[in-house]
Amino acid sequence: MNRTAPRCLVSISLALAWCLLAVRAPAELADYEPWDEEIVEIFKAMPIQEGGRIKPMQAYAETTLLRYNAMRALRFETADGTKHRVEGSAWLLDVFFRPEVAKAIPCFIVNDSDAVIAIGVEEHAKRRSRYSYDELAPAREKLSELAREYGEIEEAERTGKQNQIVDLARNVFQFEFLEHTFDFARDGLDVNLPEISPELAGEGVAISTFLENMGAIREAAADPAKLAAIDEALRTANNQMMLYLNTARSFAIIPPQGDDQEDAWLLPAEIMEDGVGSAADGGGAAAFEIGILRKLEGLAQAEPGSPAFAAALKALSETTIAAAEARGEMKSVPLELALYAGKFPLRTQLALVFGFLFLAASLLFSRRGAGLWLRRAGEVCAIIATLLLLGWLTLRCLIMGRAPVANLYETILFIVAIIMLLALGFHYLTKRPFVLPVALFAGSTGIFISMLYDRMKGEDTMGPLVAVLNSNFWLWTHVTTVTMGYAACLLAAKVSHVFVFEKLFGSRNKELFRDLTPLVYAIICFGLFFSLIGTILGGIWANDSWGRFWGWDPKENGALMIVLGCLAILHARLGGLIKQDGIHFCSIGLAMVTAFSWWYVNVMGVGLHSYGFTSGIKRAVWIYWGIELAVIVAGVVGWLLARSDSKASGSAKQGPAPNAAHSAA
Amino acid sequence: MSNPTQSPSASAVDRVLRFLASYSLATVLFVALLILVMLGTFAQLYMDIHDVKREYFSSAFVVHRFHANVPGGDMEPTGWWMPWVGGYPLMALLFVNILVGGLIRIRKNIRTIGVVICHFSILLLLAWGFVTNHFVDEGYMQIFEEGEKNYFVDYTKWDVEVIKQTGEGKHAKVFTIPHEKLAPLDRSSGSRRTFSSPAWPFAITVSHYRRNSAVVAGEGEVAVDGFGLSRVPDAKKAEQNVPGALVEIATEGGDPQRGLLWGLSRAPLTVTDADGERWSLKLTKRIYNLPFTIRLRDFIKDDHPGISMAREFQSEVTKIEGGKSDDVKIWMNHPMHAGVYTLYQAGWGPQEGEPAGTPDYTVLAVWKRPLFSGWWPLASVCIVSLGLLTHFIMKLVGHFEREAARAARKAAAAESQPAAPAP
C-alpha cells in the first residue's frame, strides 16, 4: 500500500487532536473559593422539572452554562495564579447563592470582539474571549437597545456581529433572572401585622410564614376595624411578591402531591401565586408545598458553603427526591447522572482518535512486530469506542424511554455507532486493513460535529417530542432504518475517499483498488436496503399521521433521493456505465445527497419535518458539498490523466502506427 | 447483429424491448428522477407544496426557475432557469423499464428470485401511487365542540355552484362548474370560457379568473358596480388562496348580466331568468358529502408538563350512521377508518390571533380512497424487504464461497510448490 495517504492522515489527525486538547488561555479573577464537593454532589443530583421533563439539576446547570460559555465547565485563573476549573453545577451554585462571585466569573463567550466594542465594553486582547457580567453590566442599556434593533432582523439575515449581540443580550438578561431566583427565599416580605401573629412583624418575614398565616389574615380582614391596616400591609407585600413572581420561575422544584405523572411540578412562583388560596383552606398539599418553601428559605439564608448550608441543601434534596420517588419519577435521574459522569463524548472521541492513530501508524510498518501491535491496539480502541457509543445510546434510550434518533444530535451518535458496527463487521469478515481506520476517522469527525452542534444549539438534547413524533414504534422502525441507510452511504463515501486519494497520490496498489470497489458496492447495497425500507416505512407512518403516504415533503424527498442514488449506482455498474473509478466518484456524490437529506432539508424552514433554523448549518452543508465536489473533480481529472498516460504508453509499446501507404501495400 | 431468419419488424420490437429493459435506461431514469426531486425540493422554498406537486411531479415537463435570497428573508428569481422532464413521463417510463427489464426479460432462476421480487414490489408501489393520485379525494373538516358535520371540503379546489332557488331559502338543485375547468382560465389574462347546460336557461361566461384575488372598492383589473377584482400574489399555502372571477350571464331575450364571484363573498350572485325563476351563483371550496355524521364531543390538547409543547391532541367524536352511534377517539398516528374514508387529527384551535371567546375546535383531515389501498404500501414494504434480503444474503454467501475457494486455491498452490532447499 502507498504510504503517503496514511502519513497525511496521521498529520491531519495529530493537528485535530491538538486543536481538541489545546488548553484555553484562562481569564483572571481576584479570588475564588471552590464549593465543597459534597455540596456540589447533592446539588447536581437534585431532581427538577424543566423543559418538559424531570432531570437532575446538573443537566439544567450544564445546558445553561453551555449556552453562555460554549463549554460545560468554566476555566479561569485568579489573581494569585491559581487555575480553576468549575463545572456547571458549581457555577450554578455561585449564581444562586454567591451572585457577587458569579458576576465576576468570565462566563459569557464572545466570538468576535467587535460585538463588545459595539456596546462600548473594552475588548480583551484575544478576539474570541469570555467576559464576566461585571464587565458587561455597564453596557447593559446599549446591549439591550442593539439587541432589540437586531432582533427585528430575520436570524438568517443577521451579520455575525448582530447575532453575537442578540445572543449575548439573551444570555446576560437570563443570567440576571437566574441570580435573583432565590431572592424570595433570601429577602422575604416586609409585613407588619403583629396583631395577627408575632411572626408577621418587621422586615424579611418568610414567605412560608406569610402563606401559613393567610387564613388568619383573611379572618381578621372580616373585621372592618382591621381592614384598612391589613389592606395596606397586603399591598406592600404584594408589590414585593410581584418582583419574586418574575424571578422565581427558572425551574420547577416542587413535586405535586399525588402520583399522576401528567401533573406538572410547581415553580416557587406558582406556590406564591396559588398558595395564598390553598393555605387559607389549610389543605395538606399546601402544607407540603409550604414545607419546601421553608426549606428553600433555610438554604438561601444559610452562609454559602457552611455546614448549615450543606444541611439545608441535604434536607431539601431528600424531601424532593422522596416526593419524586413516591410519584415514580426518579428512575431517569440516576441514569442521567451516570450519563454525565461517564463523560461519553470525550472518552469516545479519545478512543476513536487513538484507534485511528494506531491503525494509520500500523500501515507504515510491516504486518508483524510493531505493525501487528499497533493494529491490535487500534482494534481494541475501535471496540472500546463502539462499546462506549452503544452504552451512551443505551443510557439515552433508558432515560428518554424512546429510540435515540429523534433529533439531529442523536442521529449523529446513532450514525457513528452504525458506522463503527458496520466497519468492525467488514473488518473481521473481509480481513481488509483499511475499513476500520476509515470508520474511526469518520466516527471521530462525527463526534466532533456532535460536540460543535451541541455548543451551537446550547439546549437540552433529550427534550420531549412533538405530538407527531411521539410514537416509539415508528421511531424504532422508520427512523432507525433510514438513519442506518445514511450511515452506510457515508461509510461507503469515506472508503471511496481512500480510493480517490490513493490514486491521486500515485499509488499503483491494484490489489487494494480491487478490494475497495466490491467493498463500496456491498456497503451501498446495505445502504439501499435500509434506505428503501426506511423510506417506505416513513410513508406508512405519514399515512397514519397525516393521511397521505407520500407528500413530496423535503424530508421525504431527501430519503427518496438517497434510494434513487443507490439504485442509479447499482444499475449503472450492472449496465457497465461505470467501473472501478466511477463507482467511487458516484459513492462520494451519494454522500452529498445524504448530507442534503440528513441536514439541509431540516433547516429549509418548509415542510412537515422542519426542525427549526440552526444558524450555520446551511452554510456548513454547502461547504461540505464544495469539498466533496472538489474531491470528485480532482479524482476525475486524475483518472483522465492516468487514462491518457496509459493510452500513450500503450501506443508507445505498440510502436508507430502504420501509415496509409503501408496499409495500402 | 440481426438474425436472418427473424423478420425486420420482430428485430425492431426486440431492439425497442431491449432498450426499454436496459440498465442504461434505468440509470438515466434514476438520475433524472433524482434531479427532478432535488429541484422540486428547492422549489418548495418559494412555492406552495400543492403547486410543486402539480408543476414538478404531476407534469410532463417543468421549467425550474432558480431563486436566491434577498434581504428580508424572501426569495426572488435570479433569471436563470432550467427545463427538465416532469414526474409523469419519468415514472411511466420507470414502470415500463421495471416491468420489461425486471420482470419479463430478466433471467428467472434461483439466483435472480430476490431481484424479481423487488421489482414486483416496486411496480406495486408505483401502481399504488397512480391509483392514489387519480382516485383519491382529500380535504378537511373543522368542527367546533358539540358541533357536527357530514361533509368535508377540499383544500385547494374551488367550484362555481349554480343553484336554482325555490323560495323560502331552500334550493332545488345544485350544478357545478368544476375547478378543473376554471383553473386553466388563470393562465393568460384574456382567457374566458362559456359554460352552458340544458338545465340552465342561460349561458355563463367566466373570465378574469384569478386563483388568488382581492375585491376592492373602485377599479381593480375588472370592475362591476363600483367593486374591482384584482389579482394578488399567491399565498404561501395554496389552501389560503381565495379565487375570484368575472361572470357574464346571458339569459334568453334579456340583457347580459355581469357580476363578480369571489371566494370570501358572503352573498351569492343572483340572477332571475325569463320565467322569473331565481338562480344564485357562488364560488366555493369543493364539498364532499360523507355517508355519516361526525360530532365532536370533546377536544383535548395535552401539553408536556410545564411547557406549552403539545404532547398529544385528540378529538373525542361520535360517528352517527343510520341511527347508530359509535364513540371514537382520533389522535396523532391513530386515525379513524370508516369504509373508504379515513379521518386524521390534523389541527386544532383556537390558535393565536383568533378572536377571544372562539370555542375549541378540531380540524380533521379526510381522505376518500379505494378500499384496501391503505394496505398496499405495507404489502410492498414486506415484499421488497423479502426480495432485497434474499438477494443480498445470496450475494454475501456467494462472496464468502468465492473467498474460501480462493484461499483454498492459494493453499493448494503453496503446497504443490517444491520445498526450498535447506541452506
Q: Which amino acid is at B16?
A: V
Residue A586 shares a structural domain with residue A481 = yes
The answer to whether A610 contacts chain B (CB < 8 Å) is no
The answer to whether A567 contacts chain B (CB < 8 Å) is yes
Percent over 70 (pLDDT), chain B? 92
Q: Grid coordinates in use for A365?
A: 510498518
Q: What pLDDT is stored for residue B14 in this prediction?
A: 85
The answer to whether B395 contacts chain A (CB < 8 Å) is yes
- In angstroms, the CA A209 to CA A188 distance is 10
Closest CA to A241 of A184, A295, A300: A184
In this prediction, residues A169-180 reach a mean pLDDT of 94
| A318 domain-assigned | no
Residue A148 shares a structural domain with residue A51 = yes
ipTM of the complex: 0.81
Shortest distance between the Cα of A495 and any Cα of chain B, in A, equals 19
More confident site: A153 or A530: A530
In this prediction, residues B109-130 reach a mean pLDDT of 88
Give the bridge partners for A110, in sequence order: A129
Chain A (520-539) residues lying within 8 Å, Cβ to Cβ, of chain B: 522, 525-526, 528-529, 532-533, 536-537, 539
Percent over 70 (pLDDT), chain A? 91
The pLDDT tens digits for B167-188 are 665 556 678 899 999 988 887 7
Q: What pLDDT is stored for residue B422 in this prediction?
A: 46
- In angstroms, the CA B11 to CA B399 distance is 38
Q: What pLDDT is stored for residue A9 in this prediction?
A: 53
Q: Predicted confidence band at A101 (pLDDT cuts at 50, 70, 90)?
A: very high
| A560 domain-assigned | yes
Q: Predicted confidence band at A138 (pLDDT cuts at 50, 70, 90)?
A: very high
B350 cis-preceded (ω within 30 degrees of 0): yes
End-to-end CA distance of chain B: 63
Q: What pLDDT is stored for residue B100 in this prediction?
A: 92
Phi-psi bin for A4: left (phi > 0), alpha (psi -120 to 50), beta? alpha
**Residue corresponding to grid cell 497525511:** A8
CB contact under 8 A, A558 and B31: no
- In angstroms, the CA A309 to CA B329 distance is 52
Q: What pLDDT is stored for residue A20 in this prediction?
A: 45
Rounded alpha-carbon distances, angstroms, from residue A616 to A157, A163, B70: 12, 11, 18
Quote the distance between the C-alpha of residue A257 and its chain's center. Answer: 33
Shortest distance between the Cα of B6 and any Cα of chain A, in A, equals 26
What's the burial of A637, exposed, middle or buried (CB within 10 Å: 0-12/13-18/19+)?
A: exposed
Residue A567: closest C-alpha in chain B: B30
Residue A473: closest C-alpha in chain B: B333
Closest CA to B267 of B239, B225, B208, B220: B225
Q: Grid coordinates in use for A506?
A: 500515485
Q: Predicted confidence band at A656 (pLDDT cuts at 50, 70, 90)?
A: very low
pLDDT of A30 higher than 80: no
Residue A191 shares a structural domain with residue A168 = no
Of A1-5, B264-268, B379-383, minimum mean pLDDT range = A1-5
In this prediction, residues A95-116 reach a mean pLDDT of 94
The pLDDT tens digits for A243-265 are 888 888 888 999 988 777 778 89
Residue A141 shares a structural domain with residue A200 = no
| A429 domain-assigned | no
The pLDDT tens digits for A533-569 are 999 888 888 887 777 788 889 999 999 999 999 999 9
**Residue corresponding to grid cell 469570555:** A130
Whether the CB-CB separation of B281 and B161 falls below 8 Å is answered with yes
Handedness of CA A215, A220, A222, A226 (dihedral sign): negative
CB contact under 8 A, A554 and B377: no
| A391 domain-assigned | no
| A358 domain-assigned | no
Q: Report the SS3 class of residue B177.
A: strand
Chain A (438-467) residues lying within 8 Å, Cβ to Cβ, of chain B: 464, 466-467
The pLDDT tens digits for A439-477 are 999 999 999 999 999 988 888 999 888 887 777 788 888
Shortest distance between the Cα of A377 and any Cα of chain B, in A, equals 27
B75-85 vs B137-144, strand pairing mode: unpaired
Q: Angle CA(A376)–CA(A381)–CA(A386) in degrees, nearest 5?
A: 125
**Residue corresponding to grid cell 466516527:** A443
Whether the CB-CB separation of A305 and A39 falls below 8 Å is answered with yes
pLDDT of A176 higher than 50: yes
The answer to whether A545 contacts chain B (CB < 8 Å) is yes
pLDDT of A283 higher than 50: no
Residue A273 shares a structural domain with residue A171 = no
- In angstroms, the CA A358 to CA A381 distance is 9
**Contacting residues for B295 by C-beta, under 8 A, at least 6 apart:** B143, B146, B147, B148, B317, B318, B320
**Residue corresponding to grid cell 424531601:** A319
How many Å is the maximal CA-CA distance in chain A? 137
CB contact under 8 A, A526 and B392: yes
Please spell the DSSP secondary structure of A470-489, one letter per residue. --HHHIIIIIHHHHHHHHHH
Whether the CB-CB separation of A53 and A6 falls below 8 Å is answered with no
Residue A516 shares a structural domain with residue A536 = yes
| A313 domain-assigned | no
**Contacting residues for B145 by C-beta, under 8 A, at least 6 apart:** B296, B297, B298, B299, B359, B360, B361
**Residue corresponding to grid cell 458549581:** A90
Partners of residue B367 in chain A, C-beta under 8 Å = 547-548
CB contact under 8 A, A533 and B23: no
pLDDT of A221 higher than 50: yes
Q: What pLDDT is stored for residue A529 in this prediction?
A: 92
Residue A59 shares a structural domain with residue A190 = no
The answer to whether A470 contacts chain B (CB < 8 Å) is yes
Residue A66 shares a structural domain with residue A197 = no
Q: Predicted confidence band at A342 (pLDDT cuts at 50, 70, 90)?
A: very high
Quote the distance between the C-alpha of residue B253 and its chain's center. Answer: 44
Picking from B23, B38, B332, the nearest residue to A470 by CB comes out as B332
pLDDT of A3 higher than 60: no
Percent over 90 (pLDDT), chain A? 56
A73-78 vs A27-29, strand pairing mode: parallel
Residue A189 shares a structural domain with residue A115 = no
pLDDT of B88 higher than 90: yes
The string over A502-522, giving b where at least 16 C-beta atoms fall within 10 Å of a residue's C-beta and e elsewhere, is bbbeebeeeebbebbbebbbb
Q: Predicted confidence band at A651 (pLDDT cuts at 50, 70, 90)?
A: low
In this prediction, residues A298-311 reach a mean pLDDT of 95
- In angstroms, the CA B43 to CA B270 distance is 41
Picking from A156, A157, A467, the nearest residue to B332 by CB comes out as A467
Whether the CB-CB separation of A73 and A65 falls below 8 Å is answered with yes
Q: Predicted confidence band at A118 (pLDDT cuts at 50, 70, 90)?
A: very high
Residue A473 shares a structural domain with residue A606 = yes
What's the burial of A367, exposed, middle or buried (CB within 10 Å: 0-12/13-18/19+)?
A: exposed
Picking from B30, B72, B392, the nearest residue to A571 by CB comes out as B30
CB contact under 8 A, A557 and B138: no
pLDDT of B267 higher than 80: yes
**Contacting residues for A69 by C-beta, under 8 A, at least 6 apart:** A107, A108, A109, A130
Chain B (161-180) residues lying within 8 Å, Cβ to Cβ, of chain A: none
| A385 domain-assigned | no
pLDDT of A397 higher than 80: yes
Q: What pLDDT is stored for residue B333 in this prediction?
A: 84
End-to-end CA distance of chain A: 50
Q: What pLDDT is stored for residue B190 in this prediction?
A: 77
Shortest distance between the Cα of B229 and any Cα of chain A, in A, equals 31
Chain B (69-98) residues lying within 8 Å, Cβ to Cβ, of chain A: 69, 71-73
CB contact under 8 A, B57 and A552: yes
Q: Report the SS3 class of residue A192.
A: strand
Partners of residue B305 in chain A, C-beta under 8 Å = 49, 52-53, 261-265
CB contact under 8 A, A525 and B332: no
| A69 domain-assigned | yes
Residue B57 DSSP symbol: I
The answer to whether B309 contacts chain A (CB < 8 Å) is yes
More confident site: A633 or B392: A633
Of A269-278, B128-137, B228-237, minimum mean pLDDT range = A269-278
The answer to whether A80 contacts chain B (CB < 8 Å) is no
Residue spans of beta strands (DSSP E) within A57-188 = 73-78, 83-87, 106-110, 129-132
Q: What pLDDT is stored for residue A177 in this prediction?
A: 92
Whether the CB-CB separation of B211 and B185 falls below 8 Å is answered with no
Tell me which residue range forms the domain holding A601: 465-645
Chain mean pLDDT for chain A: 87
Q: Which amino acid is at B269?
A: L
Phi-psi bin for B208: left (phi > 0), alpha (psi -120 to 50), beta? left
Residue B36: closest C-alpha in chain A: A561
Question: Number of structural domains, chain A?
Answer: 3
Q: For residue A631, which phi and psi values (nearest 5 degrees)? A: -65, -45
The answer to whether B127 contacts chain A (CB < 8 Å) is no
Shortest distance between the Cα of A590 and any Cα of chain B, in A, equals 11
pTM exceeding 0.80: yes
Residue B19: closest C-alpha in chain A: A575
Residue A484 shares a structural domain with residue A619 = yes
Give the number of residues written for chain B.
423
The pLDDT tens digits for B19-45 are 999 999 999 999 999 999 999 999 998
Q: Grid coordinates in use for A262?
A: 401528567
Residue A236 shares a structural domain with residue A205 = yes
Whether the CB-CB separation of A308 and A285 falls below 8 Å is answered with no
